[in-house]
Structure 1
Amino acid sequence: MTELNELLLLSEFQYDLPDDRVARFPLAQRDASKLLVYQGGQISHQQFSNLPDLLPENSFLVFNNTKVIPARLHFTKPTGAVIELFLLNPFPAEQPISLAMEATGSAIWQGMIGNRKRWRPSETMKTILSTPLGDVTLTVAWHDYDQSVVRLRWQPASFTFAQIVQYAGEIPLPPYLKRDATDADRDTYQTIYSKQEGAVAAPTAGLHFTPAIFDAISKRAIGYDYLTLHVGAGTFQPIKTDDVRQHHMHTEQVVYAQQTIRHLLEHEDAIIAVGTTSMRALESLYWMGTKLIRNEADPFRLDQQYAYQIPVAQQPSVVDSLHAVLTYLIGTNKESIVAQTGIYITPGYKVKLCRGIVTNFHQPGSTLILLIATLIGDDWKRVYNEALENEYRFLSYGDSSLLLP
Structure 2
Amino acid sequence: MLVVLREFDPERDCAGAEAVDRACEVGSNGKMSLFTDLLGDPVCRIRHSPAFLMLVAETVGPAPEIVGVVRGCVKTVATTTSVETLAVYAKVGYILGLRVSPYHRRLGIGMKLVRGMEQWFTEKGAEYAYVATEKDNEASVRLFTRGCRYSKFRTPAILVNPVFAHQAPAPSGAAVISISAADAETLYRRRFSGVEFFPRDIDAVLRNPLSLGTFLAIPKSWRYGGIETFIADPPESWAVLSVWNCKDVFRLEIRGAGRFRKGVAWASRAADRALPWLRIPSVPDLFHPFGVFFLYGVGGEGPGAAMMVKALCARAHNMARVAGGVGVVATEVASCDPLLGGIPHWRRLSMAEDLWCVRRLGEDDGGDGDWTKSPPRISIFVDPREI
TM-score for the superposition, normalised by structure 2: 0.26
TM-score for the superposition, normalised by structure 1: 0.25
